[in-house]
């Protein structure tokens, strides 16, 4: 945005070296809008050799094809005030403001209430939660067994071709069983959901080379996935800028990585039929005990 030039009108001074020349802007002391802007290339074409100098505090007159122009330093003491739109400034600061709390969404309130009312701590110290399914989800959850078995057969072919992958995959499944993070399914309840799974190999990882991912975003026969029929819950991820600013208030900061963090929270037995998966014996189903609700966001990002 261009303002008037000069910013305000002032009285001319009678400098002797400027008395007998034709100025390109005779009213240079009057505050007016700028008529035209010329770039440096045009200035080089119109400048001429004449230069007039006065006292050290007076401006220099430079001859051009458009007339004489004034330049140089003039000792003045001015207060320039630029008025801006206060509403625009307010919106700018609102966008840049660090928000510690976010507005609560309806599904977030539902999940908070559900967890407060149903979460319990078992005798062994581990927590058990209910999956926050949407109302009447049973009417929209289609069959999943054919798709899960088909993908499991493809996985078996892949493991048959890669001995190292097969060894790592079996070790993962056995560890799952030994840690009691899954168990054999001995009851039948409909509608149930069988999750297809696959291995993601990360050779550059220094900790886990293989990660087995259970795909809850896979569509069932009705076109709805388990993720789509679950409430998303509130966004619990804090603003990165707020975290960095808060860290600066302490002298020491510690970070920690909890091994198998999400698996430490169990899903109550009444909801485990929604987290079945094909096991090592074809068409045999296993029921997981991981907290699928907490893993929902990660899996949706990975498979969307």
Which domains, from first to last, does the chain contain? 1-95 (no CATH), 117-236+258-303 (3.10.10.10)
Give the model confidence (pLDDT) of 72-126 as tens digits: 765 554 545 455 667 777 777 776 665 555 666 777 888 888 989 999 999 988 8
200: Cα within 13 Å, side-chain hemisphere:
11
Q: Which residue has the tokens 């088909």?
A: 150
Give the C-alpha separation, 220 to 270, whole Å. Answer: 21
**Residue 260 scores a pLDDT above 90:** no
Strand segments (E) across 93-208: 120-121, 127-129, 182-184, 197-201
Predicted model pTM: 0.55
Give the model confidence (pLDDT) of 138-161 as tens digits: 999 999 988 888 888 898 899 999
pLDDT for res 225: 92
**Residue 20 scores a pLDDT above 50:** yes
More confident residue, 196 or 289: 196
Whether 155 and 188 have beta carbons less than 8 Å apart is answered as: no
10 Å CB burial of residue 120 (0-12, 13-18, 19+) is: exposed
- Distances from the Cα of 95 to the Cαs of 41, 90, 100, 280, in angstroms? 41, 9, 13, 52
């Amino acid at each position: 945005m261009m303002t008037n030039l000069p910013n305000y009108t002032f009285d001319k001074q009678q400098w002797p070296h400027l008395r007998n020349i034709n100025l390109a802007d005779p009213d240079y002391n009057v505050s007016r809008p700028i008529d035209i802007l010329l770039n440096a290339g045009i200035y080089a074409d119109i400048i001429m050799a004449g230069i007039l100098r006065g006292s050290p505090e007076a401006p220099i007159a430079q001859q051009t094809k458009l007339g004489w122009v004034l330049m140089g330093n003039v000792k003045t003491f001015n207060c320039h005030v630029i008025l801006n739109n206060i509403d625009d400034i307010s919106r700018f600061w609102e966008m840049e403001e660090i928000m510690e709390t976010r507005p609560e969404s309806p599904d977030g309130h539902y999940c908070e209430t559900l967890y407060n009312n149903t979460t319990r701590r078992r005798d062994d110290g581990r927590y058990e939660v209910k999956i926050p399914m949407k109302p009447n989800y049973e009417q929209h959850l289609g069959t999943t067994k054919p798709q899960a078995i088909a993908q499991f057969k493809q996985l078996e072919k892949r493991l048959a071709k890669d001995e190292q992958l097969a060894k790592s995959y079996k070790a993962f499944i056995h560890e799952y069983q030994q840690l009691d993070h899954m168990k054999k399914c001995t009851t039948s309840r409909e509608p149930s959901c069988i999750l297809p799974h696959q291995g993601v190999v990360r050779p550059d990882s220094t900790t886990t080379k293989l990660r087995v991912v259970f795909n809850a975003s896979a569509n069932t026969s009705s076109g709805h996935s388990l993720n789509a029929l679950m409430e998303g819950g509130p966004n619990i991820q804090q603003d990165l800028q707020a975290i960095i600013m808060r860290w600066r208030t302490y002298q020491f900061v510690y970070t920690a990585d909890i091994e198998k963090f999400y698996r430490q929270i169990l899903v109550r037995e009444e909801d485990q039929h929604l987290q079945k998966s094909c096991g090592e014996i074809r068409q045999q189903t296993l029921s997981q005990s991981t907290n699928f609700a907490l893993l929902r966001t990660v899996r949706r990002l990975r498979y969307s």
